[in-house]
Amino acid sequence: MSLINYDELIAFIEYQNIHSGEIDKFRQAYENYIKTGKWQPEYKVITSGTLDLEGAMIMTPDNIEDADYQVYLIATNERSLWKLLLAFPRKAVGLFSPTGNIIEERVQAIFEGEFILTKYGKYYRGIKRGSKAKAEHRIISKRKDNIAAQFRKLTSLKGKIDNAQYVLEGEMLVERAFSDGLPIEAILYTTNYISTLDRKNFLNQAVNENLSCYQVNDGLMGSITSTRPVPSILASVHLTYPPLLTDSGHLNLHFSKNCSLLIAENVSNPDNLGMTLRTADAAGVSAVLICGEGASPIHKNCIRASRGAVGRIPIFYATDTIHSIDKLKQVGWNIIGATASAEIELYDMQFPSPTAIVVGNENIGLSEEIRLQCTELVRIPMAAGQSSLNVGVAAGVLLFELNRQKMINGITS
């Protein structure tokens, strides 16, 4: 609470021109706080933003309707919204105020629950997926155990899609997912993992936050994953990545004027796709659109190469790339395609907002049909001897130049 600049937050709320019962109460509570130095009622506030304030989650302790908090979300783009939802405490029940269809869909992607009618209207009451009322912590010794069987289903791409879950392998990725607030369903670990006090403390913390943890032997762990050497810890994580366009053809993207989007077309190597997602995450893009015949973001190699970006950064897919890009252009997006054949060099380009950067296949680059859809084409200048860069590296060069121009021009997301 002490780290929140409430004057900035109130100015942000005013700029968004938000008027609701919950927000009006928060404004009044802040005015009283300025006079008295005390919050009445108590509020818990979490903010998000890459270069500037982009979102806030205002939570009031609430014991009505079997909820721990009444929650109001303000977010200018997908990334700020997703970060706020991940920051909501595990095992706490939230009563989410109605704030639009897209926000409601994102809430339901991370929380399991139901819509309820109260005297104030319709709310969504939910708890973060994986945060069961009572977590299990037991030893699994049989291959046919239901938990082992469930993890085994997630080894195939079909199993991941059918169950809307993927698997993280290894200490760094699992512990990072936990600290990032990802909706973890279950954790498997071997006796090798609990060889240090820090790791034991991590498992105790996971159980305290209502996550189920299961100890297995090396043989059983080896039957679940093909990775060698056998990892000492796995975690299954809930994930849905929605289409960019709804069934009715509307844009399914929450964005503001100064957002940035990375579009990856036909990136076929899952390791390259993972590195591209990692780069996009580091550059603070609002979201990533994956289109064409490329690799899946939930491929095991992509998840490993993304270093935690999968699950933390909003990802969309397009079944009709041309229609999706056309819809983006209709609502004001500038589509900048990266290709070695472009006449304009990167450092001569002035990036308008909002901007979508398009990178293509590792071998052939952008397809002709996508190049024709771009509002501008740009090439990265490089020394003689090389004509192209790895797609993840190219994405990084483009996105960080975009960020540099935003900061110089005072245009922040």
304 part of a folded domain: yes
d(CA 297, CA 295): 7
Same-domain status, 306 and 401? yes
243 part of a folded domain: no
Closest to 80 (Cα-Cα) out of 57, 60, 104, 108: 57
- Report the CATH number at residue 220: 3.30.1330.30
- Backbone angles phi and psi of 113, in degrees to 5: 175, -145
344 part of a folded domain: yes
Closest to 244 (Cα-Cα) out of 326, 299, 129, 165: 326
Residue 357 pLDDT: 97
Q: What angle do CA 372, 375, 377 make, to 5 degrees?
A: 75
Report the residue count for the chain. Answer: 413
What are the C-alpha distances in Å from 215 to residues 92, 190, 233, 371, 377?
26, 6, 9, 51, 53
- Report the CATH number at residue 312: 3.40.1280.10
Residue 85 pLDDT: 97
254 part of a folded domain: no
Closest to 97 (Cα-Cα) out of 47, 45, 58, 42: 58
Give the sheet arrangement for strand 93-96, strand by strand.
Answer: 44-48, 55-61, 69-75, 93-96, 121-128, 111-118
- Residue ending a domain, among 128, 160, 188, is 128
Residue 69 pLDDT: 93
- Helix, strand, coil shares of the chain, percent, nearest 5, are 40, 25, 40
Same-domain status, 268 and 194? no
- Residue ending a domain, among 238, 269, 289, is 238
Closest to 62 (Cα-Cα) out of 39, 44, 83, 82: 44
Rg (CA), the chain: 23
d(CA 349, CA 335): 13
Same-domain status, 73 and 99? yes
What is the dihedral sign for C-alpha 214, 219, 220, 224? positive
Own/partner contacts of 101-107, CB < 8 Å, gap of 24 or more, are 102/252, 102/253, 102/254, 103/73, 103/75, 103/254, 105/242, 105/252, 106/78, 106/81, 106/82, 106/254, 107/73
Q: Which two tokens stand for residue 267?
A: 């990136």
248 part of a folded domain: no
Residue 79 pLDDT: 96
Residues 6+ apart with CB under 8 A from 152: 223, 224
Task: Please tell me the total count of domains within the chain.
Answer: 3
Same-domain status, 270 and 293? yes
Coil, helix or strand at residue 2: coil
Q: What angle do CA 9, 12, 14 make, to 5 degrees?
A: 110
Assess whether the previous peptide bond of 354 is cis (omega < 30° from 0): yes
Pairing state between β 334-338 and 355-359: parallel
Q: Could you state, in chain order, the average pLDDT of each consecutive group of 10 residues for the chain (413 residues)? A: 78 84 88 89 89 90 84 94 96 90 93 90 93 87 94 94 96 97 97 94 94 96 94 96 92 93 95 97 96 93 96 94 94 94 91 94 89 94 82 94 86 45
Same-domain status, 160 and 47? no
209 part of a folded domain: yes
Q: Which two tokens stand for residue 39?
A: 């919050």
- Report the CATH number at residue 32: 3.40.630
Same-domain status, 273 and 188? no
Pairing state between β 121-128 and 355-359: unpaired
Residue 412 pLDDT: 45
- Residue ending a domain, among 97, 128, 159, is 128
Residues 6+ apart with CB under 8 A from 292: 265, 266, 267, 321, 361, 367
Same-domain status, 79 and 166? no
For 91-158, the DSSP string reads T-EEEEPP--HHHHHHHHHHEEEEEEEETTEEEEEEEETT--SS--EEE---TT-HHHHHHHHTTSHH
Expressed as residue numbers, the domain containing 359 is 260-409
Same-domain status, 316 and 405? yes
Same-domain status, 114 and 81? yes
Coil, helix or strand at residue 25: helix
Same-domain status, 68 and 176? no
Task: Identify whether the C-beta of residue 206 lies closer than 8 Å to the C-beta of residue 128.
Answer: no
Same-domain status, 195 and 269? no
C-beta neighbour count of 50 within 10 angstroms:
19
Residue 164 pLDDT: 95
Same-domain status, 198 and 114? no
Residue 244 pLDDT: 96
Whole-angstrom distance between the N-terminal and C-terminal Cα of the chain? 23
- Backbone angles phi and psi of 231, in degrees to 5: -65, 150
> 103: number of CA atoms within 13 Å, CB side?
23
